[in-house]
Each structure stands twice: as C-alpha cells, then as structure tokens.
Amino acid sequence: MKNKKPYKNYIPFQYIEEMKEEGKYIEAIVLVSGYIEVFLEALIVDVAYKNSKEKGFSSKNIESYCDNISLDIKMKIAVCLGLLDKELFDKMNSFKSERNQVIHDVFKLSHKTDKHLKSLIKNGVEIFHEIFTLLKSALKQVMDKDV
C-alpha cells in the first residue's frame, strides 16, 4: 500500500471499492448506505427548496426539516416529489432490508459469505450512483438557471 492516498482524498465510489477489496465489508455497507441517505436528502432538499423559496422558506429551513428523518421516510418523500421511479424505489427498499439484516446480525456473520456481502455492497453502490446522477442533474439545472 505504498504511495497510497488517504481515503479522505478519494471520491466515494473509490473509497467504497477499496474498503470492499480490503475485506472491510461491514464498513463498506454502512458507508454506501450513509452516502445513499445523504445524497437522497440533498436531492429532496434541492427540489423542496425550489418549490418553497417563494413561500418564505430558506434552504436552511428545508434542511432542518429533513434532519432525523429515517431513510424509509426520505424514500417515500422522494417518491411523492417524483424523484424516484418504482424500479429505483424497489431496489432501495431491497438494499435497505438486506442492509438492516446484515447489520442486526453483525455478530452472526458466519452464515454470510464474502460473495453475499460483496453483492450487497455492489447493489448499494449502484443505488448510490443513481441517486448521485439524479442530484448532479438537479444541481446542473439550478446552475444553468442562475447563469
């Protein structure tokens, strides 16, 4: 691992992949799940702010309203705002359920194979990539309007 950059300098996808390659499966699952949740919240805040700013709400107001909301609720809000299609929503639900099972069984992982955990990480990265792409598109629209 000579001349290797610290993780903090890597983009999220590379960081998750490296953790997986190093056998840090639980850490990678938790990290990809966190990224999914944070980027989904950013997407919700972006759309909610666009729809609420003329009603007197600031982006800080909207962000604070999203604090302490579970991933499940954020997913449902995103569906209501038209941000997720059924396929992505179903993939996220499946990932969330499997992630919860793995995390709750963290001390019983002998029944989970590396292949199973790698697959869960792969699914999470695919979901994160889709959320990341949606957020990039939403932010690009904002930037294009501001220019």
Confidence of residue 7 (pLDDT cuts 50, 70, 90): very low
Query: 18: which residues sit within 8 A by CB, 6+ positions away?
Result: 7, 10
Give 115-128 pLDDT, tens digit per residue.
Answer: 888 888 999 989 98
Give 34-93 pLDDT, tens digit per residue.
Answer: 989 998 999 998 888 888 888 888 888 888 888 888 999 999 999 999 999 999 999 999
- Does 103 have pLDDT greater than 70? yes
Rounded CA Rg of the chain: 17
CB 71, CB 30: distance < 8 Å: no
* Cβ neighbours around 56 below 10 Å, total: 7
Q: Which is nearest to 46 in space by CA: 91, 11, 78?
A: 78
Indicate whether this model's pTM tops 0.75: no
Measured CA to CA in angstroms, residue 98 lies from 25, 38, 85 at distances of: 13, 19, 20
